[in-house]
Structure 1
Amino acid sequence: MGEQGSGAIFFSGCNLACVFCQTYEISQEGAGQEISYEKLAEVMLELASQGCANINLVTPSHQVLQILKALKIACEKGLALPIVFNTGSYDKIETLKLLEGIVDIYLADFKLWSPDLCAKYLGAKDYAKVAREAIKEMYRQVGELVLDEKGLAKRGLIIRHLVMPGMLEETEKILSFIRDEISANVHLNLMGHYHPAGRVEKFPEINRLLTKDEFKRALTLTRRLGFKNLDKTHLSLLSLLLR
């Protein structure tokens, strides 16, 4: 999307296997096409020429070395936009350290907390342990969100959490961790748009929409825990829900 939209590049495949993935065809069924480093660099430069505000690398964790090669080519040809690492946060610290000084904005999901639920729904029992350390490292690298004079993100960490049906306890544990071990000032994107996708027909307990009450309770949690930078889009959604 040009003219100050985000220049999103989706990478086929994923290092997680979320049963509710809303881009399941790309992440788990292999939709996409194989391209060279040079072609990926061309895509980045084309997005920049269209007026995009950043280069948004979506689900990039399993392609980091390839991305770094493409970025080197693109930067040598004049790419100067902020680089967004849009991740599920199942990232090794060693991998993230390769990105220090290259990635400007980490857009990091924190999905679930309990090992049994992580194993069942994400395909990774150790997900929360890995994500906790990964998000700490991201925060160490870039800190809290910094905006330019136009209100566009220049640098920093944004943490996203998708509120899941019937799992408010997971949300509370994740938000408590973020407040206590990251910062109550971090930019938090609390998402209430969960809908059945992927393979959820095999998991009846989450094969439904999130209710308005569930999302309202999650938003109440953010206030109780003292978060100061909650995504305004979702605050606007709350006002609609309360009408």
Structure 2
Amino acid sequence: MKFESSYIKLYESGALDERIRELYGILESCELCPRRCGKNRLKGERGFCRSGRELMVSSYGPHFGEEEPLVGTGGSGTIFLTNCNLRCVYCQNYEISHLGIGREVSTERAAEMMIELQRRGCHNINLVTPTHFTPQIARSIRYAIKRGFCLPIVYNCGGYENVETIKLLEGIVDIYMPDIKYSSKEPAKKYSDAPDYFDRCREAVEEMHRQVGDLKMDEDGIAYRGLLIRHLILPDGLAGSKEVLKFVSGLSKDSYVNIMDQYRPEGEAWDYKELSRRLTRKEFYDAMNMAKGYGLHRFSKESSGSIIEDFE
């Protein structure tokens, strides 16, 4: 099966240029994400995400630690973008997302990264924390297409999205990979400074599913289109996994889900007693059983429970 992303058709029709103009227009009074800071990022003003006009990249390269349908034999061509529109106290990329480790790069240079990763045999381009840089990403893709770029685009986000921005990405993004972090306001506010997280996340994920449907793979098991959902279990049920998984099953019983067991205290998590431990096996398997009880059946092989410690 030969894959061709719909961004090729958008490019050939001129529609991609129009999308890029619309996305850059949003930067004049930024509301790319639900925070709607209203800063003029085209003039260098910065809002909650601390990002201005230019794209910022921390690192890039083939990544073999992602879900199996993304990794295959060549790896996922991962580009780690700097900063974030969330403030998760337990963030495992704390230096990048909170401290802003990275450097400004032009959209032309980002396109070169995509081409390089394609030449190195990666199966996709995996954009980590892309929300606040969607205009620059779209322009980078356009430059890359002119040089022969043709890999699936993975939108690897924290789930706190403005659904109107997601609508502008239709046909540009091939695989959406959102986190669904919480199902209630209190922990979303306390640990990520986003009390409306679940409301905005549900709207966005429903739109993502409308665009690309359930995760689809080729004959080699490599994903080329669809929705891949991640849910990180937190200690003491703080993520509200029951409601999260109920929502996911309502989207489709065929939703592909990575129920993640790898929570560990990072960043500022040690300041919160309830977050200062890893999971128990029971917490993980309770979540897996809930998912199966809701009829979900497509789970990432990484959802193994293999790295969990037992606590009394």
Deviation per CA, 1:39-62: give whole Å up to 9, x if none.
100011000010000000000000
The yes-or-no answer on 1:114 pairing with 2:184 is yes
Q: Distance in 1 between matches of 2:263 and 2:81?
A: 22
Find the partner of 1:157 among 215, 219, 227: 227
Moved over 2 A (4+): 235-238
**1:218 equivalent in structure 2:** 287
Cα distance in 2 between the residues matched to 1:168 and 1:189: 18
CA–CA distance in 2 between the matches of 1:214 and 1:236?
10
Q: What is the alpha-carbon distance in structure 1 between the residues aligned to residue 273 and residue 238 of structure 2? A: 17
Q: Distance in 2 between matches of 1:80 and 1:195?
A: 36
SS at match of 2:99: coil
Decide which of 102, 116, 124 is 1:54's aligned counterpart: 124
The residue that corresponds to 1:127 in the other structure is 197
Counterpart mapping for 1:193-212 below 5 A = 193-212=262-281
Q: Where in structure 2 are the equivalents of 1:1-243 lying within 5 Å?
A: 1=62, 4-167=74-237, 170-180=240-250, 182-235=251-304, 237=306
Query: Which is worse superposed, 28-37 or 161-170?
Result: 161-170
Question: C-alpha root-mean-square deviation of aligned residues, in Å?
Answer: 1.7
Which has a greater percent of helix?
A: 1
Task: Call closer, same or farther: CA 1:169–1:67 in 2, change over 3 Å.
Answer: closer
Secondary structure of the 2:267 match is coil
Structure 2's unaligned 5+ residue stretches are 1-61, 64-72
**Does structure 1 retain, via aligned residues, the 8 Å contact 2:112–2:144?**
yes
Q: Deviations over 1:99-130 (max 9, x none)?
A: 10010000110001111111001111101100
SS in 2 for 1:116: helix
Alpha-carbon distance between aligned partners in 2 of 1:187 and 1:93, rounded to the nearest angstrom: 21
Question: How far apart are residue 232 of structure 1 and its match?
Answer: 2.3
Task: In structure 1, give the amino acid aligned to 2:189.
Answer: A
For 1:168 and 1:37, how far apart are their aligned partners in 2? 39
Question: 1:192: Cα distance to partner?
Answer: 0.4
**Aligned equivalents of 1:21, 1:27: Cα separation in 2:** 8
Question: Which segments of 5 or more consecutive residues in structure 1 lack a partner in the other structure?
Answer: none
Superimposed CA distance per residue, residues 60-107 of structure 1 (whole angstroms, 9 cap, x where no aligned partner): 000000111111000111100000000111111111111100100001
Cα distance in 2 between the residues matched to 1:205 and 1:235: 23
Instruction: Confirm or deny: 8 A CA contact 2:129 2:156 kept in the other structure.
Output: yes
Amino acid at match of 1:224: G
**Cα offset, 1:235, TM superposition:** 4.2
CA distance in 2, matches of 1:127, 1:40: 29
Look up the equivalent residue of 2:253 and give its one-letter code.
A
CA distance in 2, matches of 1:100, 1:234: 29
SS of the equivalent of 1:149 reads coil
Judge conservation of contact 1:168–1:218 (CA < 8 Å) in 2: no
Please state how far the C-alpha of 1:236 moved relative to its aligned partner: 7.3
Count of matched residue pairs: 239
1:230 deviates by: 1.3
Write the letter of the residue equivalent to 2:155: F
Deviation at 1:233, TM superposition (A): 2.7
